[in-house]
Amino acid sequence: MDAAGKIKLVESYVAAYNAADLEAMLALFAPDASMEDPVGAEPQRGREAIAALYRLGFEMGIQLALEGPVRCTASAVAFPMCARTAKGRLYIIDVFDLSPAGKIQRMRAYWGPENQIGEMDLVIPS
């Protein structure tokens, strides 16, 4: 996948999340994908486990916004974004490792308590 395809994948991810379109979200992931959100939490494996985390975010009313350019490498992308609710913001850097088919194989979200402003009912591992 070229850089334009990787950028489109990230834009599709943000758009699907903001539309609370779980099917579109899951279509971006490889069937055996893993998700570590935040890094340090127990990785969720497979689409059902990943879907449960996204449902939680949808229920919280979180909306995502890119906060800078997508960084592309041979088989990964990294990008800064902000997750917003009515009461708070969380600044995140997501990294997607991509499968040969261009699906998200591994998703890692880098954030901690120091990246939160206001109130968000987030689970932060100790």
Catalytic residue positions? 13, 37
Q: Is 63 helix (H, G, I), strand (E, B) or coil?
A: strand
**Residues 38, 84, 81, CA angle at the centre, nearest 5°?**
60
Q: Is 98 helix (H, G, I), strand (E, B) or coil?
A: strand
Tokens of 62: 């979180």
Burial class (CB in 10 A: 0-12, 13-18, 19+), 46: middle
Q: Is 93 helix (H, G, I), strand (E, B) or coil?
A: strand
Residues 64 and 83: beta-carbon distance below 8 Å: yes
